[in-house]
């Protein structure tokens, strides 16, 4: 048999295989994809918490307890973390006890024993960044999944998780005393342009009814950090162009909802997982500021094929703000 495969035939086969694989690289985005099954009625619900890992301190445990109660009421399918998972400086390594003390031992409610999808925040980049991304942590607690940028396909909704920290100039230009772990990021220009290109392509290819983008940093915010100029300039146009429904972030230690009549995107900050109460609010145009709360809490999202419902909760589980929107069943937005 071997004699049949003479050299020109082999070369030909090798070449066409190479061309085929090049085509598939060019036509599909390179972001890693995960699947999440919706419920039998095609609906989905989840919680969002950000800026949390403080070994239970600053009301982290109280927020976790209320997440457990709300998580049970809504029968949540998973949890999203908007980053700054471990304070002050991320994890020191895969054996850092903070993982157990700030995550596993805090979010103990039965309803929270679901998959967590997490992005990295700027504080996470101040530790061993590869540790948080490591499969070793998934062995310690199978709920944990943290990647830089990735896609979660849940049938009626597609999530696009974006690694926003490397966009922010000041962490590179004026790091002060902070040391950032930029392994895997450099050269930075290339890294950022790849993210934007992959995100744009994936959004264009998406046929999901709802599109949600998640990042650590703000795009629109009235909180301490305010808008992130780099993201307004580079990321926002891609979200606008591709009809993204929600942009969800942390970074500002508050809960807030901003939207404008000129855009379909709802800007939702859920960064109240632990330390909050900074008190410095740069009051926004009241027409666009739907809600701002400078204390601890979290957010829930419920999605069906035709409707999205959002709610924000404080440390006692009180609902502070609700919002919903609908899309026609057959409309292809």
Ligand X SMILES: *[C@@H]1O[C@H](CO)[C@@H](O)[C@H](O)[C@H]1NC(C)=O
Give the binding site for ligand X (CB under 6 A).
58-59, 277, 295-296, 315
CB nearer to ligand X: pick between 209 and 275 = 275
Q: What is the DSSP letter of 254?
A: S
Please state the closest distance from residue 108 (CB atom) to ligand X, in A: 19
87 is in an annotated binding site: yes
CB nearer to ligand X: pick between 214 and 315 = 315
State which residue has the least CB distance to ligand X.
Answer: 59
The set of residues, in sequence order, having a beta carbon less than 8 Å from that of 272 and lying 6+ positions away, is 49, 50, 51, 63, 253, 254, 255, 293, 295, 296, 297, 298
123 is catalytic: no
10-49 burial, b if ≥16 CB within 10 A, otherwise e? eeeeeeeeeeeeeeeeeeebebeeeebebeeeeebbbbbb
Separation of alpha carbons 218 and 240, rounded Å: 15
165: nearest Cα among 203, 141, 132, 204: 132
Please state the closest distance from residue 295 (CB atom) to ligand X, in A: 5
CB nearer to ligand X: pick between 85 and 296 = 296
Catalytic one of 123, 217, 224, 225 = 225
180 is in an annotated binding site: no
CB nearer to ligand X: pick between 249 and 274 = 274
Please state the closest distance from residue 91 (CB atom) to ligand X, in A: 23
| DSSP calls for 24-75 | HHHHS--SEEEE----TTS-EEEEEE-S--STTTTTHHHHHHHHHHHHHHTT
Please state the closest distance from residue 59 (CB atom) to ligand X, in A: 4
Separation of alpha carbons 155 and 41, rounded Å: 12
Question: CB of 42 within 8 A of CB of 270?
Answer: no
Please return the burial class of 88, using the count of CB atoms within 10 Å of its CB with bins 0-12, 13-18 and 19+: exposed
122 is in an annotated binding site: yes
CB nearer to ligand X: pick between 296 and 300 = 296
Please state the closest distance from residue 60 (CB atom) to ligand X, in A: 10
84 is in an annotated binding site: yes
- Other CB atoms within a 10 A radius of the CB of residue 95 amount to 11
Q: Which residues are annotated as a binding site?
A: 51, 84, 87, 122, 216, 251, 253
For the annotated catalytic residues, the residue numbers are 225
Q: Which residues are annotated as a binding site for Fe cation?
A: 51, 84, 87, 122, 216, 251, 253
């Amino acid at each position: 048999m071997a004699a049949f495969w003479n050299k020109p035939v082999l070369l030909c086969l090798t070449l066409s295989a190479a061309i085929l694989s090049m085509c598939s690289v060019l036509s599909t985005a390179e972001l890693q994809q995960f699947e999440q099954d919706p419920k039998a009625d095609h609906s989905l619900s989840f919680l969002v918490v950000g800026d949390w890992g403080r070994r239970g301190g600053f009301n982290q445990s109280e927020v976790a307890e209320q997440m457990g109660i709300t998580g049970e009421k809504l029968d949540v399918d998973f949890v999203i973390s908007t980053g700054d998972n471990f304070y002050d400086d991320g994890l020191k390594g895969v054996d850092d006890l903070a993982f157990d003390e700030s995550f596993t031992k805090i979010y103990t409610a039965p309803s929270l024993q679901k998959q967590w999808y997490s992005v990295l925040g700027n504080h996470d980049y101040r530790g061993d960044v590869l540790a948080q991304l490591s499969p070793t942590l998934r062995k310690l607690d199978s709920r944990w999944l943290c990647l830089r940028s990735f896609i979660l396909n849940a049938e009626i909704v597609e999530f696009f998780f974006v690694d926003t920290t490397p966009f922010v100039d000041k962490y590179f230009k004026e790091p002060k005393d902070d040391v950032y772990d930029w392994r895997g990021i450099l050269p930075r220009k290339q890294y950022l342009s790849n993210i934007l290109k992959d995100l744009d392509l994936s959004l264009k290819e998406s046929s999901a009814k709802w599109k949600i983008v998640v990042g650590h940093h703000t795009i629109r915010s009235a909180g301490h950090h305010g808008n992130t100029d780099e993201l307004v300039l580079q990321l926002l146009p891609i979200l606008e162009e591709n009809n993204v429904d929600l942009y969800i972030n942390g970074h500002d230690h508050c809960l807030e909802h901003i939207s404008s009549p000129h855009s379909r995107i709802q800007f939702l900050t859920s960064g109240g997982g632990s330390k909050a109460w900074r008190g410095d609010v740069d009051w926004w145009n009241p027409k666009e500021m739907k809600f701002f709360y400078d204390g601890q809490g979290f957010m829930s999202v419920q999605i069906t094929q035709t409707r999205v419902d959002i709610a924000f909760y404080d440390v006692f589980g009180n609902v502070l703000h609700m919002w919903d929107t609908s899309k026609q069943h057959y409309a292809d937005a």
